[in-house]
A and B are shown apart, each in its own frame.
Chain A
Amino acid sequence: MKLSYQIATRFLKSALTQTLIIILGIGIGVSVQIFIGSLIQGLQKSLVNTTIGNAAHVSVTDDDDGFIKDYEAVIRSAVDADDRIVAASPVLNASVLIEKDGESQSLLIRGFDLQRAEDIYEFSEYLVEGAMPNADGKVLLGVIARDNFELSVGDTISLITPDKRTVECSVSGFFDYKVAAPNESWCITTLPTVQAIFELEDVVSAIEFQVDQDLVFEADAVAKNVAGAIASDSDTLIVGEWKEANGQLLSGLQGQSISSIMIQVFVMISVVLGIASVLAISVMQKSRQIGILKAMGIQNGSSSLIFLFQGLILGIFGAIAGVLLGLGLSFAFTTFALKPDGTPVVPLYIDPAFIALSAAIAVVACIIASLIPARKSSVLNPIDIIRNQ
């Protein structure tokens, strides 16, 4: 073992330029793998985040009259049923028309328990003007609605209900979710405000839940648990989750992941082929040494270990070089390739587990690549070397 290892290191040192070039080759392969992987993961995270970062992952609605009465009990059952749930908020949604100077547009008026809804919607984060509603009768509107109706903080707006009653509300602020739909048509207010407008008792139209952000893809399992737990509260409740409503996004993500894996696999294959061919040449270059070692009685196993060790050493140094290069590349990208607002053009996601996996795959690949030369070394017959002089 020790002798094979030492011979391996001496062989590598004796052809230092060749060794460094292979290490660089492996390093570039691994760094491309790390960079592409981090890029795709980053893109996917940011895509998922824009889609569902400020939305319900799981929601409960009523199939009967559309209203849930004993909603606090339902929330309690659901939260107890699955500890992946990190936020829960009741909401009463309804449609109204906003009218000003003869122009009108429909709004989705959303009555929240603002404190609890903050966990999901982060209103204060997206508030660009004014303040949160601090009393019933005050609302927040999106920036598009503000511009369409030339509104400013403190203005009173007229909302018309489907049964043609007009209600006045005062605008306490404006939000900007950077997404058209809410910016244009959401009207956020307190739960009692909406209940009062529609002359309802203490009911909600939906309960919204968010699950831990690292577990968003388990929303279907969470939904199943929730459905089981709340069945006893009422049998008209139905549970939905974000994945069933976003099939296209999900298949897009999957396609992206597959192509990312394909790229990584092919990069690795070319690295393996490169190392295998260089090591195969190295067996030829060193056949004289292997021959004399065998004449002196080195076992075939030890002589193949020499090349496995070379593969291992090249793999380890190549992986280290690759990780450094990959992180450097990622760092450079996120530091220097910036949008005007200072955020990176490509949001990379540096996942230590993924990097460790890439490095480990590279080391294993290098050992696999050295199997053929190891085999050649094992079967090399010393007489062929001794006789040919």
Chain B
Amino acid sequence: MSELRFEQVSVRFGGRRGMTAVDGVDLTVPKGQVVGLVGESGSGKSTLARAAASLTPLSAGQILFNGRPLRPKRGEHRPLQMVFQDPHSSLNPRMSIGDSIAEGIPRAGRGDAASRRAEVERLLGLVGLDPQRASSYPGQMSGGQLQRVALARALAGQPEVIIADEITSALDVSVQGTVLNLVRDLQRELNLSMLFISHNLAVVRYVADAIAVMYLGRIVEQGPAEQILSNPQHPYTKALLAAVPGNGSTGLSPGMSDPAVQAVSDAEPADPHHPPTGCRYHLRCPIGPLVLPGRDVCREADPEPEGHSHAAACHFADGSLMAGKAGLL
């Protein structure tokens, strides 16, 4: 239905001594597609999501909705809705779930009380809940049920784009499946465009058509899901994939052969207030300057995504001229 495009989007927090949570992100969520966004905590995923929902102001760049800047006025219909991580915090505990959902119905088409009630019941049915439950309060429902309600409220706004921020991380595996199935079915049925954020690669793989990988405020790799998963270009994406349990990783066996590799793999995540120079991943990169000699370029120059497959922001990713040069050295 609609396309959501981030163009050189940056978000800064705090004044002069603040930090840049999102730094020049280019990302497109194509019409009717699901883009999965992965990356470690603090990498800026949620900030990017909140920026798209106009909950956080941009400090640079723009977010385009079908090619036009997204600047919702008060009371105006927003074509974009968001579902949050913690279902207990995303619904007003003092409001019945029916009222919460009704509030999401656009003002223009709200109609009288009866038609509003009918719409609420339709939405509850859509997310697989008994319409009778409209009068229940959040305290009377389980986490999985509440997440369905949150989804119904988002759908009430007749959105064309949905942003789902870690919507299953607070749920047990036993209910995670029901919510994921629902999200996937609704997305297909309503042809929604969706930005699906999760730290769980297996979950992202299940729902997403394309995947973008974020590291310290930047997108370091993006592309069609199956390509990213089968042929990752950026070393950070490779590390993420290797960390998936049962994904052929032998990472747990103690005593890794190379002490240099061991050291970088045990390195701490970088401090976002003081991002490393050059490639932001270079202190943890298993093929970076701390492990392989002669890769000083990683420390000095910021790798550009252009010219690399999957737009991988790595000097030594495939399709890169630098890689060739390094080979010669």
Tell whether A and B belong to one assembly. Answer: no
